[in-house]
Amino acid sequence: MGKRLRVFVLSAFLVLPLGARALAQGNLRISFDMSGDHEYSSGPWSVTEDIETGVCAALEFATQDTRDAQVGVGIEYQVPRELSDHPDEEFNFIPLYFYAKMYARSGGSTAFLLGRFGYNLYEGNDDYKGAADLEGGLYYAVGVGLITTGSAEIELTYVVNTGIMDFGATDVDVEYSRVSFGVSVAF
């Protein structure tokens, strides 16, 4: 727990000042995650389970914004989600990330490609983690989007969160992947 807290605090000190600097260029995003895959692996052993649909909320702050591109930082909170076959077991990730959007303008429409990359905290209830300590890992997402009005966007992304279940003598890698549909509003 101490290592995760140190990483979170360090990440927050890196991300939040950049976001505060760009507070006038922020986005609030709500995402709806389609059913995803939750894969456990250790050496040659691997098990994949289905995940129930979930919801995420994110704040993003642009640090550079031009006509052709935008880069910035963000934080996302996943509402805890259940394993389909084990509804008492809940987990979630909290990613801190950098993002980039490349715009393509045509007529009155603006489409974009986006990428996100960062580190996420990894949490789970006692039924989910058992005797394991949960450690965060990499977060990344790629997708496409469309600016629907001057301040609203829709996006479709492929998202991956990784983490480790540390059982002391054995580590189990965890990868949670899914397709997500998001709606964001600038503030």
The confidence score (pLDDT) of residue 22 equals: 45
The confidence score (pLDDT) of residue 151 equals: 87
Q: Which residue has the higher pLDDT, 151 or 175?
A: 175
* CB burial of residue 63 (10 Å; 0-12, 13-18, 19+): middle
Full residue range of the structural domain in which residue 6 is found = 2-186
pLDDT digits (tens, 9 = 90+) for 3-36: 655 555 556 555 555 545 545 589 999 999 987 9
pLDDT digits (tens, 9 = 90+) for 108-140: 889 999 999 999 999 999 999 999 999 999 999
Average pLDDT of the residues of the chain: 90
CATH of the domain at 25: 2.40.160.20
Query: For the chain, what is the domain count?
Result: 1
Window from 21-35, 50-64, 89-103, 115-129 with minimum mean pLDDT: 21-35
Q: What is the pTM for the complete model shown?
A: 0.87
